[in-house]
């Protein structure tokens, strides 16, 4: 008998889930990718909407959405190594996009690490600029964006 894990995504904030978000982002960005902690933590964490995906109540990944008027900026997207390859990043992106649409945003932007470009393309993003190296890292990124359609009121 195969038991399917319970997977859920929650929308939260830094004040409630900073410990969980800190743990995931430290493991992925600071420890795996050698991002200096001073670059990982910024003033936007306190005001952004955060998303956490749980597998059987274990935190497995996260993303952050900053909103400026009608444009959203996705960042700090991370899935812990033990949970990669299970479609959790796509699930997170789908949830962030649905949330952004419900907030009447017209566009989403992000800077994707080039090796995960396909993930973002598969969720509707397209490249909108040249490859660059993220400040303070040696990780190549590409700017991407997605136009959102307004959600019809029910």
What local confidence, expressed as pLDDT, does residue 43 receive? 95
Tell whether 116 is covered by a domain: no
Q: In the chain, which stretches have pLDDT less than 70?
A: 150-154
What local confidence, expressed as pLDDT, does residue 152 receive? 60
Residue 43: C-alpha distances to residues 47, 48, 50, 141 (Å): 8, 9, 14, 22
pLDDT tens-digit series, residues 53-85: 999 999 999 999 999 999 999 999 999 999 999
User: Which CATH number fits the domain that encloses residue 85?
Assistant: 3.40.630.30
3-state secondary structure of 55: strand
Tell whether 130 is covered by a domain: no
Tell whether 140 is covered by a domain: no
Tell whether 40 is covered by a domain: yes
Tell whether 43 is covered by a domain: yes
What local confidence, expressed as pLDDT, does residue 1 receive? 72
Report the domain count for the chain.
1
Tell whether 148 is covered by a domain: no
What local confidence, expressed as pLDDT, does residue 18 receive? 97
Look up the domain containing 94 and give its range: 7-110
Tell whether 99 is covered by a domain: yes
């Amino acid at each position: 008998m195969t038991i399917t894990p319970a997977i859920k995504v929650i929308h939260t904030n830094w004040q409630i889930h900073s410990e969980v978000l800190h743990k995931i982002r430290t493991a992925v960005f600071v420890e795996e990718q050698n991002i200096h902690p001073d670059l990982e933590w910024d003033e936007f964490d306190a005001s952004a909407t955060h998303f956490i995906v749980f597998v059987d109540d274990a935190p497995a990944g996260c993303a952050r959405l900053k909103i400026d008027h009608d444009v959203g900026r996705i960042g700090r997207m991370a899935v812990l190594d033990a949970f990669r390859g299970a479609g959790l990043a796509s699930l997170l992106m789908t949830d962030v996009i649905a949330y952004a649409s419900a907030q009447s945003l017209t566009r989403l932007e992000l800077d994707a690490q080039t090796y995960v470009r396909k993930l973002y393309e598969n969720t509707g993003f397209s490249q909108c600029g040249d490859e660059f190296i993220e400040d303070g890292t040696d990780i190549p990124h590409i700017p991407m964006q997605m136009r959102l359609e307004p959600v019809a009121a029910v």
